[in-house]
Structures are given as C-alpha cells and as structure tokens.
Amino acid sequence: MTKITNHTEVTIIGGGPGGLSAAYELVNQGISVSLIDENSMLGGQFLRQLTPEFIKNKKSFLDINIKEYNQLLNLINNPYFIYINNSIVWNILDEMVVVYVQNNQTKLISSNYIIVASGAYDRAVPFPGWTLPGVMTVGGVLNLLKSQLILPGKNIIVSGNGALILLIANYLNYAGANILEVLESSNHKLNLVDIIKLFYVPSLFKKGIAFRLNLMLSGIPYKTGEIIVEAKGDKIVEEVIIAPINSEGKTDLSRSRTVITDILITGFGLTSSSEITQFIGCEHNYNALKGGWIPIRTKCFETTIKNVFSVGDCAGIKGSDIASCEGRIAGITALNRIKNNFSINKNKLNHFQNKLKKYNNFQNIINKIYLPPNNYLSLINKNTIICRCEDVTYGDLLTYLDQNIYDIRSLKSVSRAGMGKCQGRNCLGTIISILEQNNCSHVFDNNPNYRPPLKPVLISDLIEKEFKVID
C-alpha cells in the first residue's frame, strides 16, 4: 500500500516566485498548503541557490535576488507550510488528487484547490550542429552557475533572443568567463513613447541598463541583428558560423563569418510548462510569443476548471515579478473562497492588481525590444535534427507533409517526433512552426495529448497495487 501525505486545503505545484507568493498569502492566514517541487530547495530557477553539498565561504554575486525574497524563502519555517521537495508530479486524479514520486515512492495528496506554478523551460531552436557537445542552453548554464558555481567552458559565445541572454552574459562575466561575443537576433528600435514607459518600473529599467553597461565596460561585444547559423566540430564544438538577419527576418549567409570557440550558449526565450493544465482538461490557446500553449484564465488566474489556478511562466512567459504578483492574487482569491469572505483582502488585492498592471506594461515594451523573427526555420536544412530524442530530421517531416499529414498528433504518430524522453518539450514548437510555414490549416485541430506519467519516472514507481488518500 502506498504511503501518502495528508490532505491539505491547497496544493501548489512549483516552488518558484509564483508558487511561493501564493503560499505566502495562504499560510499566513492559517491555511494548510502543500507545495510540491522538483528541486531540493525552494526558489525555482530564478532563486536557485547552492545545493547543500556545496560549501560557500563568501557571498556570491548570484545571491543578488535572494535578499528581497527572504520573506518567501522563510516559508519553510511556517507550521502551515508543507514542503515536498525532490518530487515529480506525474498524474492528477479526479477530485483534486495529485500523484507524485518522492524518494522512489509514489504518493498521493488531496486538496480543495490546486495552484499550478510549474514555470517554463528553454525554447529549443534547431540549427546545423545544435546537438554537438558544447552547445548549451541558457537554463542549463544558469543551473551550473547557481547550484554549483561551475563555468561551462573557457571561450564562450552567447547567441539568441531576449533578455535572458543579457542576464547569462552578465552572470558569466561576473564569474570570470571569457565571453567572445553576445549576439542578439532582434534589431528593433523603440520610439520615444516606449522609452518613457520603461521608466514606469525604475528598478527593472536600472537593472537592464546596468547589464548593458557592465558588458560594455568589460569590452564584451554586444551585437544586434546577428545569429549563429551553424556549429561545427569533430566531437565537440570547435567553431561557429555567424550571419546577420535581413529586414525580412531571414539570415543572410552571403555575409557570414566564422569564430573559434569551445562553448556556445543559446537562448531563444522560454516555453511555458503547461502540460499539467493541458492534461487535466483546462482550455488553452496557442501563442508562440507568449510561450506556446497558454491556459485561458480569469482576472484572478483561475483556469476553466473551477478551483484550479495557473500562475507565472507556465501560463505565459512574463518573468519573476509578474509571477509573484499573479501568485499573490491567486492566493488571496483562494483564501477568500476558503473563508467565504471577499471583502477582507480587497485593498491588498487592488494593490497587487495595480502593481501587476505596471509590470505588464513594462514587459510589453521589453517584448517589443526583443521581438524575434517570425520563425527560425531559415536556420535549418533537410539534414538538421528536429527531434533529438528520436533522431527525426527536417527532411523526414517534409516527407510526411508530402503525404498530407497536417496535424500535430498525426505527425507525431507516424514520425515519432515528440515521443522521446522529453515528450516534445524540445521539438514541439519547431514542429508547429514547420506546419504553419507549410500552410497546414489543421495544425491546431488537436493540441498535444498528454497522458500519465507526465514526466519520466521509474517503472518501479508506477507499479502500485493500491492508492489510498488519507483525509
């Protein structure tokens, strides 16, 4: 028989700023909360800390965000807060029962409310050579730096799109890495009105200016309108080919150049980790710029399933500050329902809604600055691997399209693209772009069909004779 956790009023999935902010509003009012997290320590990717195995003898530059979030990280000491770490949620049963694996045991927990704050993961953009050792994503490098203080290599090029490549370049620079170039694919110019709007959130504006200034003072080239089009090497990355992007959003290979390097870090934004809300039947819309499949939510961030909320990057990529505000609002809304009193937190709710509006306006300008090309398909050729789990190439997918296979599920069935260990997390966005480019009108007829286990777990974790929920 499976030993499981007791019933709590609210279950939160994800221990980043969004999940922690929701928990804060609940436990401080005496509401029992279980927070299930894949990490060993609270904070998610944004507040990731050195793991206990590492001893830190001095303050790290990576601690910059920790101080302002101490209030949330200290939730671990609240008696109403149950932290279930090192756990993978792989199923959700009827009547709000969450199934997860912890310490090689499958456990269940029931609740009256679920708040999904599962975050996001790196958006993979294929190009020739992207599977070579030495090609890494921003998220992977951030994990190395934050949890182990490890530099990925000696000579580094950072390429991609969005504020994250500026962030990782600064972290690497602080850590003493030799950064050869930082390449931003966007070359968008702001008008005066947009620039003025950036001052609405001065703390974030100052941080962005500081990042750019630090690179400049360190002599690190920051080039816009350029991108990596190929990584080359025998068994590891040895050199990369860089090309400018023309006014039509396509790479101009006639003006390409080659740079020798041993590490290439790519960052093309993030993809929302919305598999849980898709699996349980919440309605979604697809928006590539916002992170893929995005759950439809109310103004208090409740999904189309009653008492199931979704906050943070898993409901659209907008960053940690917005995730925190959304978590607060969702937590307050759940609290008011539990107490059956919608007036006691009215002022606090208005405060976070007004704060969220400012952050959203700021984020909209940032999105303009880093507006990517329509797609990155001009980087690939027929031999480029699209699904690295199943070794499916772009040429393979075109062959199936020639056979009039036009929707995601059918293409997945015949090609096996998306059926590997990552379950489409690396290739699905590219496959959708390929279908759209080929004018496939059925591309969104069927969104991905998720089945348990939602993430890879051991077979032994799934073999249970009986599940029982302890109330």
Q: By the 8 A CB rule, do 408 and 435 touch?
A: yes
pTM, two decimal places: 0.92
Whole-number percent of the chain with pLDDT over 90: 61
Determine the 3-state secondary structure of 181 from DSSP. strand
Rounded to an integer, what distance in angstroms lies between the CA atom of residue 293 and that of residue 291? 7
Residues 151-171 pLDDT 10s: 999 899 999 999 999 999 999
Q: By the 8 A CB rule, do 380 and 127 touch?
A: yes
State both tokens at 58. 């001095």
Average pLDDT over residues 273-297: 94
As a whole number, the mean pLDDT across the chain is 89
Please give the single-letter amino acid code of residue 137.
T
Is 124-268 in the same CATH topology as 10-121+271-344?
yes
* Beta bridge mates, 265: 136, 158
Q: DSSP secondary-structure letter at 237?
A: -
The angle that helices 394-401 and 408-415 make with each other, rounded to 10 degrees, is: 120
Alpha carbon of 162 to those of 138, 185, 188: distances in Å? 11, 8, 12
Rounded to an integer, what distance in angstroms lies between the CA atom of residue 76 and that of residue 67? 16
Residues 309-357 pLDDT 10s: 999 999 999 999 999 999 999 999 999 999 988 777 889 999 999 999 9
Query: Given this model, what pLDDT does residue 208 score?
Result: 86
Q: By the 8 A CB rule, do 49 and 145 touch?
A: no
CATH fold of the domain at 10-121+271-344: FAD/NAD(P)-binding domain (3.50.50)
- Say if residue 242's pLDDT is above 60: yes
- Say if residue 32's pLDDT is above 90: yes
Residues 49-62 pLDDT 10s: 777 666 555 555 55
Residues 387-428 pLDDT 10s: 999 999 999 999 999 998 877 888 888 999 988 888 888 999
Query: Given this model, what pLDDT does residue 359 score?
Result: 93
Rounded to an integer, what distance in angstroms lies between the CA atom of residue 149 and that of residue 82? 29
Q: Per-domain residue ranges for the chain?
A: 10-121+271-344, 124-268, 380-437
- Say if residue 374's pLDDT is above 80: no
Taking every pair of C-alpha atoms in the chain, what is the biggest distance, in angstroms?
A: 67
CATH of domain 124-268: 3.50.50.60
State both tokens at 345. 């937190």
Cis peptide before 126 (omega within 30 of 0): no
Query: Given this model, what pLDDT does residue 303 score?
Result: 98
Q: By the 8 A CB rule, do 87 and 102 touch?
A: yes
Please give the single-letter amino acid code of residue 319.
G
- Rg (alpha carbons) of the chain, rounded to whole number: 22
Average pLDDT over residues 235-260: 91
